[in-house]
Structure 1
């Protein structure tokens, strides 16, 4: 029986590479090419460097122990939260409502079962042992040790919007912490924008190394570039914080980091059912029926906190990064981000958000609320660029007057 299960995994992996070759062109669209690609001594990371077929029972046992320890810690600290009750889906329900599908006859496997954990680790098991260790070199990450590393990334069309995030960091965060680094990744900036970010944004500006990664990572709206960037920095700090250009920090983050010390990970819940906003191909990849995810909200990817600890790395970050690298997982097809106003499973796809939400749900079910950092607690979202105060230009003008 054990041999048959492993044989099934090997067949699935082999089929995945064949299909990945067919689907990967959908993910090869680089919307904004960086205007400056700096030379690097690092060797390009190819699929040959990334993948092999070697699932192990030892990995499953270790993951199970990390999971049990985290559940016990959250319970001991009073941080184990449960979602509120959800009703049944009706014909009058909102197109994006998260509710129980009365016609769903499928169930997710038990949380700590071999089947469930193998599903979560499916993309990880396909990776070579040293694949993720190559990322710091690819990204040119300094081997420093910081308490906090803050990460942002933007192309030129989000440069103005990103200034609100930078201003909130300058005013609400950086004056109150020590031993931190702030990196801003160029995924399509102009030279003068890079210069402003370096001089007045107090950021270390780095060119995203698209040319050293598989071409499917270049599809910016597939967001596979985000998990890789976080993984490249995770071993240089206790906390890594990623922020979209729409994020505005509203208060001191001490309480947030206190919670993250125990949870290991924080993410902001959204407002729509993940079953509605996730490609059917991703559900198929993980071996689950879409309707089993109908009662759960999707999570947002604009504000993420990872702690450098075994649980967050092995159960959350590494499965997420491995999914980003797998041509069949995060970016299985060029699905649209915009969702039609109708109730239908898989009507659109949220890429990085869908993958992380599915991992969280498979691990924690109704307890996913334990990892919430809600809008209004420490941050808010302000999208759009027309109303944004050009903070860096203001600093430049003030500096010139002096």
Structure 2
């Protein structure tokens, strides 16, 4: 709905701070990239339940070496490609029980251990919106995904409290 009125939609979690007061260059970057996210460190396959992959007709093993996309900071531009390939499928998944949020609730899946990077583990936990962002953005941009990623502590943003 925001993108019907404005050229960008932006989500900034309360854990994010800006390094600069003037963020006009960030929006110029977003205009050129269409979507900007923050790259994670853990394999999507490890932190996504199999049923979420199956909803998108994907196999977990396809995402074993692809890192999650954090959901604390996202800018999306209203282009037909972004709307059709990322935003509409993301909203559809959010509205469908057992896609983004498991039917049995979130409690059994919310504790994702940062230790023991074992990439052969599938669905060890579930990152809900991050799991879906990772699938959709990697599908949409493939090997070019890094062109759409920021890092915390980089040019624009930093994590508050760390």
Structure 1 segment 117-132 matched on structure 2, within 5 A: none
Match of 1:338 in 2: 111
Alignment partners' CA distance in 1, 2:130 and 2:56: 15
Residues 337-389 of structure 1 show CA distances to partners (whole Å, capped at 9, x for unaligned) of 212445321000011111011011122222111211222221111248xxxxx
Match of 2:135 in 1: 358
Give secondary structure in 1 for the equivalent of 2:91.
helix
Aligned partner of 1:380 among 152, 158, 162: 158
Q: Which consecutive segments of 4 or more residues in structure 1 shift more than 6 A?
A: none
Structure with greater strand share of residues: 2
Give the gaps of 5 or more residues in structure 1: 1-231, 385-402
**TM-score normalised to the size of structure 2?**
0.86
Match of 2:31 in 1: 261
Quote how far apart the aligned CAs of 1:328 are.
2.8
Structure 1 segment 43-54 matched on structure 2, within 5 A: none
Quote how far apart the aligned CAs of 1:261 are.
0.9
Higher relative contact order (CA 8 A, sep 6+): 2
Give secondary structure in 2 for the equivalent of 1:235.
helix
Alignment of 1:237 onto 2:2: no
RMSD of aligned C-alpha atoms? Answer: 1.7
Alignment partners' CA distance in 2, 1:260 and 1:346: 32
Alignment partners' CA distance in 2, 1:321 and 1:328: 13
Give secondary structure in 1 for the equivalent of 2:7.
strand
Match of 2:58 in 1: 288
Residues 239-290 of structure 1 show CA distances to partners (whole Å, capped at 9, x for unaligned) of 2211111010111322221121122111010111111111121122222221
Alignment partners' CA distance in 2, 1:256 and 1:287: 34
Looking at CA atoms only, which structure, 1 or 2, has the larger radius of gyration?
1
Structure 1 segment 60-79 matched on structure 2, within 5 A: none
Structure with greater helix share of residues: 1
Structure 1 segment 293-332 matched on structure 2, within 5 A: 293-332=63-102
Quote how far apart the aligned CAs of 1:303 are.
0.8
CA contact (8 A) 2:86 2:140 kept: no
Aligned residues: 153
Residues 163-216 of structure 1 show CA distances to partners (whole Å, capped at 9, x for unaligned) of xxxxxxxxxxxxxxxxxxxxxxxxxxxxxxxxxxxxxxxxxxxxxxxxxxxxxx
Alignment partners' CA distance in 2, 1:289 and 1:314: 21
